[in-house]
A and B are shown apart, each in its own frame.
Chain A
Amino acid sequence: MIGSMNTNTYTRYGYADLLPLMERMTGDEKHDDASTSTLDILWVLYDKVLRVFPDQPERGDRDRFLLSKGHGPTAYYAVLAAKGFFPVEWLDEFGAFESPLGHHPDRALVPGVEISSGSLGHGLPIAVGRALALRSLGSSSRVVVLVGDAELDEGSNHEAIAVAGRLGLDSITVVVVDNGSATHGWPGGIARRFEVEGWVGRNVDGRSHDELERALSAPAESRASDGTAAPLVVVARVEQRGA
Protein backbone atom coordinates (compact mmCIF):
# COMPACT_ATOMS: atom_id res chain seq x y z
CA MET A 1 0.00 0.00 0.00
CA ILE A 2 1.10 3.53 -0.69
CA GLY A 3 0.37 6.19 1.90
CA SER A 4 -2.24 5.76 4.56
CA MET A 5 -5.96 6.20 4.90
CA ASN A 6 -6.96 9.75 5.63
CA THR A 7 -10.56 9.71 6.68
CA ASN A 8 -10.72 13.34 7.75
CA THR A 9 -10.43 14.95 4.37
CA TYR A 10 -13.19 13.38 2.34
CA THR A 11 -15.81 15.96 3.13
CA ARG A 12 -13.69 18.52 1.29
CA TYR A 13 -14.59 16.95 -2.02
CA GLY A 14 -17.83 17.30 -3.90
CA TYR A 15 -19.18 16.42 -7.32
CA ALA A 16 -17.41 19.38 -8.92
CA ASP A 17 -14.07 17.97 -7.81
CA LEU A 18 -14.48 14.66 -9.63
CA LEU A 19 -13.31 15.73 -13.08
CA PRO A 20 -10.17 17.38 -11.65
CA LEU A 21 -9.56 14.23 -9.63
CA MET A 22 -9.92 12.16 -12.78
CA GLU A 23 -7.49 14.43 -14.55
CA ARG A 24 -4.88 13.48 -11.97
CA MET A 25 -5.06 10.03 -13.54
CA THR A 26 -5.46 10.88 -17.22
CA GLY A 27 -3.06 13.82 -17.26
CA ASP A 28 -5.29 16.03 -19.40
CA GLU A 29 -8.92 16.83 -19.95
CA LYS A 30 -9.64 13.83 -22.10
CA HIS A 31 -11.81 11.20 -20.50
CA ASP A 32 -12.63 8.02 -22.25
CA ASP A 33 -16.29 7.09 -22.57
CA ALA A 34 -15.95 4.05 -20.34
CA SER A 35 -15.02 6.27 -17.39
CA THR A 36 -17.31 9.21 -17.76
CA SER A 37 -20.41 7.12 -18.51
CA THR A 38 -20.43 5.96 -14.89
CA LEU A 39 -19.46 9.24 -13.22
CA ASP A 40 -22.88 10.49 -12.16
CA ILE A 41 -24.15 7.06 -11.21
CA LEU A 42 -21.13 6.42 -8.99
CA TRP A 43 -21.38 9.82 -7.35
CA VAL A 44 -25.07 9.45 -6.54
CA LEU A 45 -24.48 5.95 -5.20
CA TYR A 46 -21.64 6.97 -2.89
CA ASP A 47 -23.05 10.37 -1.97
CA LYS A 48 -26.73 9.53 -1.48
CA VAL A 49 -27.51 5.85 -1.63
CA LEU A 50 -24.92 3.43 -0.31
CA ARG A 51 -24.37 2.89 3.39
CA VAL A 52 -20.57 2.66 3.46
CA PHE A 53 -17.89 3.60 5.96
CA PRO A 54 -14.67 4.91 4.39
CA ASP A 55 -12.81 4.62 7.69
CA GLN A 56 -14.10 1.06 8.19
CA PRO A 57 -14.37 -0.24 4.63
CA GLU A 58 -15.07 -3.82 5.72
CA ARG A 59 -17.69 -3.11 8.39
CA GLY A 60 -20.19 -5.95 8.36
CA ASP A 61 -23.32 -3.82 8.05
CA ARG A 62 -22.11 -1.88 5.01
CA ASP A 63 -23.81 -2.09 1.64
CA ARG A 64 -21.74 -4.00 -0.91
CA PHE A 65 -21.03 -2.17 -4.16
CA LEU A 66 -19.63 -4.38 -6.90
CA LEU A 67 -18.19 -2.62 -9.93
CA SER A 68 -18.58 -5.41 -12.43
CA LYS A 69 -17.72 -3.20 -15.40
CA GLY A 70 -14.14 -2.79 -14.23
CA HIS A 71 -12.66 -1.12 -17.29
CA GLY A 72 -12.34 2.64 -17.27
CA PRO A 73 -12.21 2.88 -13.47
CA THR A 74 -11.01 6.47 -13.16
CA ALA A 75 -14.46 7.74 -12.17
CA TYR A 76 -14.68 4.97 -9.56
CA TYR A 77 -11.26 5.80 -8.14
CA ALA A 78 -12.08 9.50 -8.13
CA VAL A 79 -15.29 8.88 -6.17
CA LEU A 80 -13.60 6.53 -3.70
CA ALA A 81 -10.82 9.06 -3.14
CA ALA A 82 -13.30 11.90 -2.81
CA LYS A 83 -15.14 9.94 -0.16
CA GLY A 84 -11.96 9.18 1.75
CA PHE A 85 -11.42 5.49 1.08
CA PHE A 86 -7.82 6.29 0.16
CA PRO A 87 -5.69 9.43 -0.20
CA VAL A 88 -6.24 11.44 -3.37
CA GLU A 89 -2.47 11.37 -3.89
CA TRP A 90 -2.84 7.75 -4.96
CA LEU A 91 -4.57 8.99 -8.12
CA ASP A 92 -1.35 10.57 -9.38
CA GLU A 93 0.28 7.17 -9.70
CA PHE A 94 -2.60 5.51 -11.60
CA GLY A 95 -1.28 2.42 -13.37
CA ALA A 96 2.27 2.77 -12.09
CA PHE A 97 4.29 -0.25 -11.01
CA GLU A 98 3.91 0.38 -7.31
CA SER A 99 0.43 1.91 -7.43
CA PRO A 100 -2.55 0.06 -5.95
CA LEU A 101 -4.69 1.61 -8.71
CA GLY A 102 -4.61 -0.41 -11.91
CA HIS A 103 -6.62 -0.07 -15.07
CA HIS A 104 -8.96 -2.63 -13.53
CA PRO A 105 -9.63 -2.42 -9.78
CA ASP A 106 -8.27 -5.05 -7.38
CA ARG A 107 -9.99 -5.69 -4.06
CA ALA A 108 -6.74 -6.93 -2.56
CA LEU A 109 -5.09 -3.56 -3.15
CA VAL A 110 -7.74 -0.86 -2.80
CA PRO A 111 -9.81 -0.16 0.34
CA GLY A 112 -13.52 -0.15 -0.43
CA VAL A 113 -13.23 -2.18 -3.62
CA GLU A 114 -15.48 -5.22 -3.13
CA ILE A 115 -14.52 -7.26 -6.18
CA SER A 116 -11.55 -7.42 -8.49
CA SER A 117 -13.05 -6.92 -11.92
CA GLY A 118 -11.98 -6.43 -15.51
CA SER A 119 -13.25 -9.54 -17.21
CA LEU A 120 -16.92 -8.92 -17.94
CA GLY A 121 -19.81 -10.87 -16.52
CA HIS A 122 -18.43 -11.76 -13.09
CA GLY A 123 -20.04 -9.23 -10.78
CA LEU A 124 -23.65 -10.36 -11.00
CA PRO A 125 -23.08 -14.03 -10.12
CA ILE A 126 -20.88 -12.98 -7.20
CA ALA A 127 -23.62 -10.58 -6.09
CA VAL A 128 -26.09 -13.46 -6.02
CA GLY A 129 -23.77 -15.37 -3.69
CA ARG A 130 -23.30 -12.38 -1.44
CA ALA A 131 -27.05 -11.76 -1.31
CA LEU A 132 -27.68 -15.40 -0.40
CA ALA A 133 -25.04 -15.15 2.31
CA LEU A 134 -26.48 -11.92 3.71
CA ARG A 135 -29.96 -13.44 3.68
CA SER A 136 -28.65 -16.43 5.66
CA LEU A 137 -27.04 -14.06 8.14
CA GLY A 138 -30.20 -12.00 8.54
CA SER A 139 -28.44 -8.89 7.26
CA SER A 140 -30.26 -5.95 5.73
CA SER A 141 -27.26 -4.79 3.70
CA ARG A 142 -27.82 -4.14 0.02
CA VAL A 143 -25.75 -5.56 -2.81
CA VAL A 144 -25.46 -3.08 -5.66
CA VAL A 145 -23.83 -4.07 -8.94
CA LEU A 146 -22.86 -1.79 -11.79
CA VAL A 147 -22.75 -3.38 -15.25
CA GLY A 148 -22.57 -2.00 -18.75
CA ASP A 149 -25.10 -2.62 -21.50
CA ALA A 150 -22.42 -4.30 -23.61
CA GLU A 151 -21.31 -6.35 -20.63
CA LEU A 152 -24.73 -7.99 -20.69
CA ASP A 153 -23.58 -9.78 -23.85
CA GLU A 154 -21.74 -12.19 -21.54
CA GLY A 155 -23.97 -15.17 -20.88
CA SER A 156 -22.85 -15.50 -17.27
CA ASN A 157 -24.97 -12.44 -16.45
CA HIS A 158 -28.08 -14.15 -17.68
CA GLU A 159 -27.44 -17.18 -15.49
CA ALA A 160 -27.35 -14.83 -12.52
CA ILE A 161 -30.30 -12.69 -13.61
CA ALA A 162 -32.51 -15.78 -13.76
CA VAL A 163 -31.35 -17.13 -10.41
CA ALA A 164 -31.63 -13.81 -8.57
CA GLY A 165 -35.12 -13.23 -9.92
CA ARG A 166 -36.40 -16.69 -9.11
CA LEU A 167 -34.93 -16.69 -5.62
CA GLY A 168 -36.41 -13.26 -4.95
CA LEU A 169 -33.12 -11.71 -3.88
CA ASP A 170 -34.50 -8.26 -3.15
CA SER A 171 -31.25 -7.07 -1.56
CA ILE A 172 -29.75 -6.91 -5.06
CA THR A 173 -29.86 -3.77 -7.17
CA VAL A 174 -28.25 -3.80 -10.59
CA VAL A 175 -27.45 -0.53 -12.29
CA VAL A 176 -27.00 -0.91 -16.03
CA VAL A 177 -25.16 2.02 -17.53
CA ASP A 178 -26.57 2.07 -21.03
CA ASN A 179 -24.45 3.93 -23.55
CA GLY A 180 -25.70 1.85 -26.44
CA SER A 181 -22.45 -0.02 -26.89
CA ALA A 182 -23.76 -3.59 -27.11
CA THR A 183 -22.90 -4.79 -30.60
CA HIS A 184 -26.25 -6.43 -31.30
CA GLY A 185 -28.33 -4.26 -29.01
CA TRP A 186 -31.22 -5.23 -26.73
CA PRO A 187 -34.48 -5.10 -28.69
CA GLY A 188 -37.39 -4.30 -26.41
CA GLY A 189 -35.15 -2.68 -23.87
CA ILE A 190 -32.70 -3.88 -21.26
CA ALA A 191 -35.14 -3.65 -18.33
CA ARG A 192 -37.43 -6.19 -19.98
CA ARG A 193 -34.65 -8.77 -19.98
CA PHE A 194 -34.65 -8.56 -16.22
CA GLU A 195 -38.40 -8.17 -15.77
CA VAL A 196 -39.25 -11.47 -17.47
CA GLU A 197 -37.05 -13.13 -14.84
CA GLY A 198 -38.97 -11.52 -11.99
CA TRP A 199 -37.10 -8.28 -11.46
CA VAL A 200 -38.52 -4.81 -11.03
CA GLY A 201 -37.18 -2.51 -13.73
CA ARG A 202 -36.77 1.26 -13.74
CA ASN A 203 -35.44 3.44 -16.54
CA VAL A 204 -33.74 6.71 -15.68
CA ASP A 205 -31.56 9.43 -17.14
CA GLY A 206 -28.05 8.40 -16.15
CA ARG A 207 -26.99 12.04 -15.84
CA SER A 208 -29.90 13.12 -13.62
CA HIS A 209 -28.89 12.94 -9.99
CA ASP A 210 -32.48 13.28 -8.84
CA GLU A 211 -33.75 10.48 -11.07
CA LEU A 212 -30.87 8.22 -10.10
CA GLU A 213 -31.33 8.85 -6.40
CA ARG A 214 -35.07 8.23 -6.54
CA ALA A 215 -34.72 5.04 -8.54
CA LEU A 216 -31.89 3.68 -6.45
CA SER A 217 -33.17 4.63 -3.01
CA ALA A 218 -36.44 2.77 -3.02
CA PRO A 219 -35.57 -0.90 -3.41
CA ALA A 220 -37.70 -1.95 -0.44
CA GLU A 221 -40.82 -0.91 -2.24
CA SER A 222 -39.96 -2.86 -5.33
CA ARG A 223 -42.20 -5.84 -5.71
CA ALA A 224 -42.93 -7.92 -8.71
CA SER A 225 -46.48 -8.01 -9.96
CA ASP A 226 -47.31 -11.16 -8.02
CA GLY A 227 -46.26 -9.59 -4.73
CA THR A 228 -43.13 -11.64 -4.15
CA ALA A 229 -39.78 -10.11 -3.32
CA ALA A 230 -37.88 -8.98 -6.37
CA PRO A 231 -34.45 -7.64 -7.15
CA LEU A 232 -34.27 -4.22 -8.77
CA VAL A 233 -32.67 -3.15 -12.02
CA VAL A 234 -32.12 0.51 -12.82
CA VAL A 235 -31.22 1.15 -16.44
CA ALA A 236 -29.34 4.44 -16.57
CA ARG A 237 -29.24 5.88 -20.07
CA VAL A 238 -26.28 8.03 -20.95
CA GLU A 239 -25.13 9.47 -24.26
CA GLN A 240 -24.15 6.99 -26.97
CA ARG A 241 -20.59 5.83 -26.88
CA GLY A 242 -18.53 8.07 -29.14
CA ALA A 243 -21.31 10.65 -29.40
Chain B
Amino acid sequence: MTTMRDRFYSVTEELLATDECAALVLADIGAARVRTALDRYPGRATNVGIREQAMVGVAAGLAMEGFRPILHSYAPFLVERTFEQLKLDLSHQGVGAILASVGASYDWAEGGRTHQAPGDVAVLDTLPGWNVHVPGHPDEVEMLLRYEMDRSGPAYIRLGSQSNARATLTQPGRFVPLRTYDDAVATIVAVGPFLDRTVEAVRDLRVNVVYAATVRPFDSETLLRVAGSQQDVILVEPYLAGTSIREVTETRGLSPRVLGLGVPRSEFRRYGNADEHDAAHGLDAAGIRRSVVAFLDERAPVLS
Protein backbone atom coordinates (compact mmCIF):
# COMPACT_ATOMS: atom_id res chain seq x y z
CA MET B 1 0.00 0.00 0.00
CA THR B 2 1.20 3.52 -0.80
CA THR B 3 2.14 5.36 2.37
CA MET B 4 1.81 9.08 3.04
CA ARG B 5 5.55 9.31 2.68
CA ASP B 6 5.56 7.53 -0.71
CA ARG B 7 2.90 9.90 -1.95
CA PHE B 8 4.78 12.92 -0.68
CA TYR B 9 7.89 11.95 -2.65
CA SER B 10 6.03 11.22 -5.87
CA VAL B 11 3.94 14.41 -5.79
CA THR B 12 6.99 16.49 -4.86
CA GLU B 13 8.89 15.13 -7.87
CA GLU B 14 5.93 15.89 -10.10
CA LEU B 15 5.61 19.43 -8.76
CA LEU B 16 9.32 20.06 -9.37
CA ALA B 17 8.88 18.85 -12.93
CA THR B 18 5.78 20.89 -13.72
CA ASP B 19 6.21 24.07 -11.66
CA GLU B 20 9.40 26.02 -12.20
CA CYS B 21 8.81 27.92 -8.94
CA ALA B 22 8.80 24.69 -6.93
CA ALA B 23 11.92 24.08 -4.89
CA LEU B 24 13.08 21.33 -2.56
CA VAL B 25 15.66 21.50 0.21
CA LEU B 26 16.62 18.31 2.01
CA ALA B 27 18.94 17.42 4.86
CA ASP B 28 19.71 13.87 3.67
CA ILE B 29 16.41 12.38 4.85
CA GLY B 30 14.49 11.44 1.71
CA ALA B 31 17.32 12.29 -0.70
CA ALA B 32 17.54 8.75 -2.05
CA ARG B 33 13.83 8.86 -2.84
CA VAL B 34 13.97 11.95 -5.03
CA ARG B 35 17.40 11.40 -6.55
CA THR B 36 16.16 12.12 -10.08
CA ALA B 37 14.79 15.53 -9.14
CA LEU B 38 17.95 16.45 -7.24
CA ASP B 39 20.00 15.61 -10.31
CA ARG B 40 17.65 17.28 -12.76
CA TYR B 41 17.04 20.60 -10.97
CA PRO B 42 20.26 21.52 -9.21
CA GLY B 43 19.81 24.84 -7.48
CA ARG B 44 16.12 24.69 -6.75
CA ALA B 45 16.37 21.05 -5.63
CA THR B 46 19.24 20.66 -3.20
CA ASN B 47 20.35 18.26 -0.51
CA VAL B 48 22.46 20.25 1.97
CA GLY B 49 23.51 17.18 3.93
CA ILE B 50 22.73 16.67 7.61
CA ARG B 51 22.40 20.39 8.24
CA GLU B 52 18.89 21.25 9.29
CA GLN B 53 19.61 24.87 10.21
CA ALA B 54 21.06 25.40 6.75
CA MET B 55 18.08 23.61 5.22
CA VAL B 56 15.74 26.26 6.59
CA GLY B 57 18.03 29.19 5.86
CA VAL B 58 18.56 28.00 2.29
CA ALA B 59 14.82 27.60 1.85
CA ALA B 60 14.31 31.14 3.12
CA GLY B 61 16.81 32.44 0.58
CA LEU B 62 15.02 30.58 -2.21
CA ALA B 63 11.67 31.95 -1.04
CA MET B 64 13.04 35.51 -1.02
CA GLU B 65 13.85 35.07 -4.71
CA GLY B 66 10.36 33.86 -5.58
CA PHE B 67 10.61 30.09 -5.21
CA ARG B 68 8.22 27.92 -3.20
CA PRO B 69 10.47 25.58 -1.20
CA ILE B 70 9.48 22.26 0.28
CA LEU B 71 11.52 21.09 3.28
CA HIS B 72 11.47 17.63 4.70
CA SER B 73 12.90 15.63 7.57
CA TYR B 74 11.97 13.84 10.73
CA ALA B 75 9.64 16.07 12.74
CA PRO B 76 12.05 16.74 15.64
CA PHE B 77 14.86 17.78 13.29
CA LEU B 78 12.59 19.77 10.99
CA VAL B 79 10.69 21.70 13.65
CA GLU B 80 12.45 21.53 16.99
CA ARG B 81 16.12 21.66 16.06
CA THR B 82 15.48 24.49 13.61
CA PHE B 83 13.01 26.45 15.66
CA GLU B 84 14.88 29.76 15.58
CA GLN B 85 15.37 29.44 11.84
CA LEU B 86 11.63 28.89 11.38
CA LYS B 87 10.89 31.90 13.56
CA LEU B 88 13.47 34.25 12.04
CA ASP B 89 14.44 33.00 8.56
CA LEU B 90 10.84 32.36 7.54
CA SER B 91 8.29 34.13 9.74
CA HIS B 92 10.29 37.23 10.64
CA GLN B 93 11.59 37.70 7.09
CA GLY B 94 8.03 37.48 5.81
CA VAL B 95 8.58 34.48 3.55
CA GLY B 96 7.05 31.03 3.53
CA ALA B 97 7.88 27.41 2.86
CA ILE B 98 6.19 24.04 3.03
CA LEU B 99 7.55 21.80 5.79
CA ALA B 100 6.66 18.14 5.42
CA SER B 101 7.69 16.01 8.37
CA VAL B 102 7.77 12.29 8.95
CA GLY B 103 7.88 10.40 12.21
CA ALA B 104 4.87 12.07 13.86
CA SER B 105 4.60 11.56 17.62
CA TYR B 106 6.17 8.10 17.77
CA ASP B 107 5.90 6.35 14.42
CA TRP B 108 9.33 4.90 15.06
CA ALA B 109 8.73 3.96 18.65
CA GLU B 110 11.78 1.67 18.63
CA GLY B 111 13.86 4.77 17.81
CA GLY B 112 13.14 6.35 21.17
CA ARG B 113 12.79 9.96 22.21
CA THR B 114 15.23 11.47 19.71
CA HIS B 115 12.97 10.66 16.77
CA GLN B 116 9.67 11.55 18.41
CA ALA B 117 7.96 14.93 18.25
CA PRO B 118 4.59 14.98 19.97
CA GLY B 119 5.17 18.71 20.61
CA ASP B 120 5.66 19.76 16.98
CA VAL B 121 2.25 21.37 16.46
CA ALA B 122 2.40 23.12 19.84
CA VAL B 123 5.84 24.52 19.01
CA LEU B 124 4.66 25.88 15.66
CA ASP B 125 1.62 27.30 17.42
CA THR B 126 3.87 29.97 18.93
CA LEU B 127 4.49 31.40 15.45
CA PRO B 128 2.07 33.64 13.55
CA GLY B 129 0.19 32.63 10.43
CA TRP B 130 1.30 29.05 9.93
CA ASN B 131 -1.03 26.57 8.25
CA VAL B 132 -0.79 23.23 10.01
CA HIS B 133 -2.07 20.15 8.24
CA VAL B 134 -2.39 16.69 9.73
CA PRO B 135 -3.55 14.49 6.86
CA GLY B 136 -5.13 11.15 7.64
CA HIS B 137 -4.61 9.43 4.28
CA PRO B 138 -2.11 9.53 1.38
CA ASP B 139 -4.75 11.11 -0.90
CA GLU B 140 -5.08 13.93 1.60
CA VAL B 141 -1.30 14.41 1.63
CA GLU B 142 -1.45 14.96 -2.11
CA MET B 143 -4.42 17.34 -1.89
CA LEU B 144 -2.81 19.40 0.87
CA LEU B 145 0.62 19.51 -0.77
CA ARG B 146 -0.85 20.78 -4.04
CA TYR B 147 -2.98 23.26 -2.10
CA GLU B 148 0.06 24.67 -0.33
CA MET B 149 2.17 24.80 -3.51
CA ASP B 150 -0.26 27.42 -4.82
CA ARG B 151 0.14 29.52 -1.69
CA SER B 152 3.08 31.52 -0.38
CA GLY B 153 2.87 31.44 3.42
CA PRO B 154 4.48 29.09 5.93
CA ALA B 155 2.89 25.66 6.15
CA TYR B 156 3.46 22.39 7.97
CA ILE B 157 2.27 19.02 6.74
CA ARG B 158 2.60 16.25 9.31
CA LEU B 159 3.00 12.91 7.59
CA GLY B 160 2.57 9.74 9.58
CA SER B 161 2.77 6.01 9.13
CA GLN B 162 -0.73 5.55 10.53
CA SER B 163 -3.57 6.14 8.13
CA ASN B 164 -7.34 5.97 7.90
CA ALA B 165 -8.88 3.38 5.56
CA ARG B 166 -10.07 6.03 3.15
CA ALA B 167 -9.69 9.72 2.46
CA THR B 168 -12.31 12.03 3.94
CA LEU B 169 -11.07 15.52 3.21
CA THR B 170 -12.97 17.37 0.51
CA GLN B 171 -11.82 20.95 0.91
CA PRO B 172 -8.38 21.88 2.25
CA GLY B 173 -8.57 23.91 5.43
CA ARG B 174 -12.15 23.01 6.37
CA PHE B 175 -13.42 20.52 8.93
CA VAL B 176 -15.71 17.77 7.62
CA PRO B 177 -18.87 16.98 9.65
CA LEU B 178 -19.25 13.22 9.46
CA ARG B 179 -22.00 12.30 11.90
CA THR B 180 -24.42 14.76 13.43
CA TYR B 181 -27.44 14.24 15.68
CA ASP B 182 -30.01 16.84 16.67
CA ASP B 183 -29.84 15.65 20.29
CA ALA B 184 -26.08 15.09 20.54
CA VAL B 185 -24.52 16.24 23.81
CA ALA B 186 -21.00 16.54 22.48
CA THR B 187 -19.01 17.05 19.31
CA ILE B 188 -15.77 15.19 18.80
CA VAL B 189 -13.08 16.68 16.57
CA ALA B 190 -10.95 13.79 15.31
CA VAL B 191 -7.66 14.90 13.81
CA GLY B 192 -5.92 13.21 10.87
CA PRO B 193 -4.99 9.55 11.33
CA PHE B 194 -7.07 9.29 14.52
CA LEU B 195 -10.37 9.51 12.65
CA ASP B 196 -11.10 5.81 12.10
CA ARG B 197 -10.40 4.83 15.69
CA THR B 198 -12.48 7.72 16.99
CA VAL B 199 -15.46 6.72 14.85
CA GLU B 200 -15.08 3.18 16.13
CA ALA B 201 -14.79 4.38 19.72
CA VAL B 202 -18.09 6.27 19.67
CA ARG B 203 -20.03 4.27 17.09
CA ASP B 204 -22.93 3.59 19.50
CA LEU B 205 -22.85 6.95 21.28
CA ARG B 206 -25.02 9.90 20.33
CA VAL B 207 -22.15 12.33 19.74
CA ASN B 208 -21.27 14.29 16.64
CA VAL B 209 -18.02 13.56 14.82
CA VAL B 210 -16.13 16.17 12.86
CA TYR B 211 -12.93 15.41 10.92
CA ALA B 212 -10.01 17.83 10.87
CA ALA B 213 -7.03 17.42 8.53
CA THR B 214 -6.06 21.06 9.01
CA VAL B 215 -5.80 22.37 12.57
CA ARG B 216 -4.32 25.83 11.86
CA PRO B 217 -6.17 27.85 11.01
CA PHE B 218 -8.73 26.09 13.17
CA ASP B 219 -12.11 25.85 11.43
CA SER B 220 -14.15 27.30 14.28
CA GLU B 221 -16.96 28.14 11.90
CA THR B 222 -17.70 24.50 11.07
CA LEU B 223 -17.25 23.44 14.69
CA LEU B 224 -19.72 26.07 15.87
CA ARG B 225 -22.22 25.10 13.19
CA VAL B 226 -22.09 21.46 14.29
CA ALA B 227 -21.71 21.87 18.04
CA GLY B 228 -23.99 24.85 18.56
CA SER B 229 -23.74 26.69 21.84
CA GLN B 230 -24.64 23.91 24.24
CA GLN B 231 -22.47 20.94 23.45
CA ASP B 232 -19.24 19.84 25.01
CA VAL B 233 -16.27 19.50 22.68
CA ILE B 234 -13.77 16.66 22.66
CA LEU B 235 -10.52 16.94 20.73
CA VAL B 236 -8.72 13.78 19.67
CA GLU B 237 -5.30 14.91 18.48
CA PRO B 238 -2.42 12.61 17.53
CA TYR B 239 0.13 14.95 19.10
CA LEU B 240 0.48 16.75 22.45
CA ALA B 241 -2.78 16.55 24.39
CA GLY B 242 -4.70 19.80 24.56
CA THR B 243 -2.81 21.54 21.77
CA SER B 244 -6.03 22.94 20.29
CA ILE B 245 -8.06 23.55 23.45
CA ARG B 246 -7.52 27.29 23.26
CA GLU B 247 -8.83 27.32 19.70
CA VAL B 248 -12.08 25.85 21.03
CA THR B 249 -12.43 28.04 24.10
CA GLU B 250 -11.71 31.18 22.08
CA THR B 251 -14.41 30.39 19.53
CA ARG B 252 -17.14 32.97 20.02
CA GLY B 253 -20.52 31.36 20.52
CA LEU B 254 -19.17 28.15 21.99
CA SER B 255 -19.13 27.76 25.75
CA PRO B 256 -18.19 24.14 26.13
CA ARG B 257 -16.45 21.98 28.58
CA VAL B 258 -13.48 20.75 26.57
CA LEU B 259 -11.62 17.46 26.75
CA GLY B 260 -8.28 17.38 24.96
CA LEU B 261 -7.08 13.87 24.22
CA GLY B 262 -3.62 13.33 22.84
CA VAL B 263 -0.07 12.39 23.71
CA PRO B 264 0.96 13.26 27.28
CA ARG B 265 3.83 15.64 27.95
CA SER B 266 5.79 13.21 30.10
CA GLU B 267 8.57 11.23 28.48
CA PHE B 268 7.65 7.59 27.99
CA ARG B 269 10.71 5.29 28.00
CA ARG B 270 9.33 2.34 26.07
CA TYR B 271 10.13 1.04 22.59
CA GLY B 272 7.79 -1.27 20.69
CA ASN B 273 5.53 0.20 18.01
CA ALA B 274 3.12 3.08 17.54
CA ASP B 275 0.04 0.96 18.22
CA GLU B 276 1.47 -0.07 21.59
CA HIS B 277 2.18 3.56 22.45
CA ASP B 278 -1.34 4.55 21.40
CA ALA B 279 -2.77 1.92 23.72
CA ALA B 280 -0.50 2.98 26.58
CA HIS B 281 -1.66 6.59 26.22
CA GLY B 282 -5.34 5.66 25.86
CA LEU B 283 -5.33 6.69 22.23
CA ASP B 284 -6.57 3.45 20.67
CA ALA B 285 -10.30 3.02 20.09
CA ALA B 286 -10.88 1.43 23.49
CA GLY B 287 -8.93 4.14 25.29
CA ILE B 288 -10.68 6.97 23.46
CA ARG B 289 -14.02 5.41 24.31
CA ARG B 290 -13.11 5.17 28.00
CA SER B 291 -12.12 8.83 28.10
CA VAL B 292 -15.18 10.02 26.22
CA VAL B 293 -17.60 8.05 28.39
CA ALA B 294 -15.91 9.22 31.58
CA PHE B 295 -15.98 12.84 30.42
CA LEU B 296 -19.63 12.78 29.39
CA ASP B 297 -20.67 10.75 32.42
CA GLU B 298 -24.18 9.47 31.95
CA ARG B 299 -24.99 12.21 29.45
CA ALA B 300 -23.90 10.24 26.41
CA PRO B 301 -27.02 8.48 25.29
CA VAL B 302 -26.42 5.23 23.49
CA LEU B 303 -27.90 5.04 20.02
CA SER B 304 -31.08 2.95 19.98
Q: Which residues of A are interface residues toward B (Cβ below 8 A)?
A: 107-108, 114-116, 119, 121-122, 124-137, 155-156, 159-160, 162-163, 167
Contact = CB atoms under 8 A, between A and B. Distances in A.
Given A119-B84, A122-B85, A163 B48 contact: yes
Q: Closest 10 interchain pairs by CB? A: A129-B61, A125-B57, A133-B65, A136-B43, A129-B58, A159-B54, A159-B51, A130-B61, A156-B53, A126-B61
Contacts of B94: 107-108
B170 interface: no
B61 A125 contact: yes
Contacts of B92: 116
Contacts, number: 98
B46 interface: yes
B44 interface: yes
Contacts of B69: 129
A133 B22 CA distance: 11
Interface string B55-82: 0111111111111010000000000000
Contacts of A162: 49, 51
Nearest to A163: B48
A122 B89 contact: yes
Interface of B: 23, 25, 41, 43-44, 46, 48-49, 51, 53-54, 56-67, 69, 84-85, 88-89, 92-94
Contact of B88 (A119, A130, A160): A119
Given A107-B93, A116-B93, A133 B61 contact: yes
A184 B54 CA distance: 23
Contact of A122 (B63, B64, B65, B88): B88
A44 to B, nearest CB: 24
Contacts of A126: 57-58, 60-61, 64, 89, 93
Contacts of B48: 128, 159, 163
14 contacts: A115-B93, A122-B89, A125-B54, A125-B61, A126-B60, A128-B54, A129-B58, A129-B60, A129-B65, A131-B61, A132-B43, A156-B85, A159-B48, A160-B58
Q: Which of A129, A130, A156, A167 has the largest number of chain B CB atoms within 10 A?
A: A129
A125 B88 contact: no
A163 B25 CA distance: 12
Contacts of A124: 57
